[in-house]
């Protein structure tokens, strides 16, 4: 029980004005946008780190591709990819941590969220790796796809226990199982909706940029080729300045939409805790 109570902060002079109550499907989706809108400076202050670092690494890899020997290019490309994944996991961990504090109406800075994300980085990486290994291993067998989806949802809330309950990677999966148990279909529906909304918003922004580039561009290409170059850009097919601008836009759009999944997961996590563990009463007693 001590692990679960780690979410309650020691500074009891802070109170929570956000109503702690069970949320419906619509409440969670609406709350996802409401919290993002009311705390956009906090979330964008976190994702700007992703935008800057990943774009810089992308441009370094681009420079090496244009000017360096092929063997060097491969090494730099691998290092850039590794560095990008490190930044992504770090920033997502910070977003998850920030989302819980925002829901509980607690003051937090972007810097503090990123610092906590770095402190819990290896535990977060560990739980993500375990989740990916099982889900992907089952998925590639084809016959195991239903089981892949089942465990993907069952363990899908691992980030919150890692970041706020201080659990280990393995215990985070077990903790997620406890919360999802008995409500799998509901959790699946909410997770799917959050994922689709995030993807659709990202797709709309990217497609808008695509159409603008298609209308204003001087190069004659089919719409299909332009789509492919937008979502799967290849340096040898387009001029390097166009590639740099394209990556700037794509990474920027990804940075804008990243907080949605973290906020939605946090709301779902608290909803399950309130329903199953009376977390709202626990908070009132603690305060």
pLDDT for the residue numbered 147: 96
pLDDT top residue among 38 and 68: 38
pLDDT value for 18: 57
Return the residue matching tokens 């239903």.
Answer: 146
Contact 32, 102 (CB under 8 A): no
Helices (H) and strands (E) in the chain, counts: 13, 0
Task: Kindly indicate the confidence band of residue 5, based on its pLDDT and cuts at 50, 70 and 90.
Answer: very low
Contact in structure between 113 and 98 (CB atoms under 8 Å): yes
- Taking alpha carbons only, the member of 25, 196, 193, 169 closest to residue 93 is 169
Neighbours of 281 (CB within 10 A): 11
Residue 137 and residue 133: Cα distance in Å, rounded? 6
Q: Are 257 and 97 in contact (CB under 8 A)?
A: no
Q: Residue 187 gets which letter from DSSP? A: H
User: What's the pLDDT tens digit per position in 128-157?
Assistant: 999 999 999 999 998 999 999 999 999 999
The mean pLDDT of the chain is 84
Cβ contacts of 174-178, under 8 Å, gap ≥ 24: 175/3, 178/276
Q: What is the CA radius of gyration of the chain?
A: 21
Sorted by sequence, the CB contacts under 8 Å of residue 83 that are 6+ apart come out as 53, 57
H runs (alpha helix) in 140-239: 145-154, 159-164, 169-180, 184-216, 223-231
Percent with pLDDT over 70 in the chain: 79
Domain ranges of the chain: 24-286
Please report which confidence band the pLDDT of residue 110 belongs to, taking 50, 70 and 90 as the band edges: very high
Q: How far is CA 213 from CA 141, 202, 241, 249, in A?
A: 40, 17, 13, 11
What's residue 152's pLDDT?
96
pLDDT at position 210, please? Answer: 74
279, pLDDT greater than 50: yes
Q: Is residue 77 within 8 Å of residue 61, measured between CB atoms?
A: yes
Q: What is the average per-residue pLDDT within 247-256?
A: 91
pLDDT, mean of residues 15-39: 83
pLDDT higher than threshold 70 for residue 238: no
According to the model, what pLDDT value does residue 2 have? 43
278: left (phi over 0), alpha (psi -120 to 50) or beta: left
Q: Across the chain, which distance is largest between two alpha carbons, in Å?
A: 67
> Is pLDDT larger for residue 233 or for residue 260?
260
**pLDDT-based confidence at 211, cuts 50/70/90?**
confident
Supply the pLDDT for residue 76. 77
Q: Taking 70 as the threshold, does the pLDDT of residue 80 lie above it? A: yes
In whole angstroms, what is the distance from residue 89 CA to residue 262 CA?
A: 12
> In this prediction, what percent of the chain has a pLDDT beyond 90?
59
- Letter string b/e over residues 228-239, b meaning 16 or more CB atoms within 10 A of that residue's CB: ebbeeeeeeebe
């Amino acid at each position: 029980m001590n692990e679960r109570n780690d979410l309650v902060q020691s500074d009891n002079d802070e109170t929570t004005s956000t109503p702690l109550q069970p949320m419906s499907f619509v409440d969670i989706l609406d709350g996802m946008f409401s919290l993002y809108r009311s705390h956009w400076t906090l979330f964008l202050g976190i994702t700007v780190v992703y935008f800057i670092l990943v774009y810089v690494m992308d441009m370094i890899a681009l420079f090496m591709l244009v000017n360096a020997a092929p063997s060097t290019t491969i090494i730099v490309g691998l290092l850039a990819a590794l560095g990008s994944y490190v930044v992504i996991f770090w920033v997502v961990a910070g977003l998850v941590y920030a989302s819980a504090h925002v829901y509980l109406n607690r003051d937090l800075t972007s810097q503090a969220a990123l610092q906590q994300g770095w402190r819990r980085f290896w535990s977060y990486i560990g739980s993500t790796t375990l989740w990916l290994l099982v889900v992907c291993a089952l998925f590639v067998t084809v016959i195991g796809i239903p089981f892949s989806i089942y465990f993907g949802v069952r363990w899908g809330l691992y980030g919150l226990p890692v970041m706020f309950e201080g659990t280990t990677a393995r215990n985070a999966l077990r903790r997620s199982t406890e919360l999802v148990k008995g409500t799998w279909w509901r959790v699946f529906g909410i997770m799917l909706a959050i994922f689709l909304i995030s993807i659709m918003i990202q797709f709309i922004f990217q497609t808008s940029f695509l159409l603008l580039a298609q209308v204003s561009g001087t190069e004659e290409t089919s719409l299909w080729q332009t789509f492919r170059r937008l979502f799967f850009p290849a340096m040898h097919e387009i001029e390097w300045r166009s590639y740099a601008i394209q990556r700037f836009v794509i990474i920027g759009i990804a940075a804008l939409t990243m907080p949605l999944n973290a906020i939605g997961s946090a709301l779902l996590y608290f909803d399950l805790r309130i329903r199953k563990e009376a977390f709202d009463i626990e908070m009132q007693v603690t305060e």
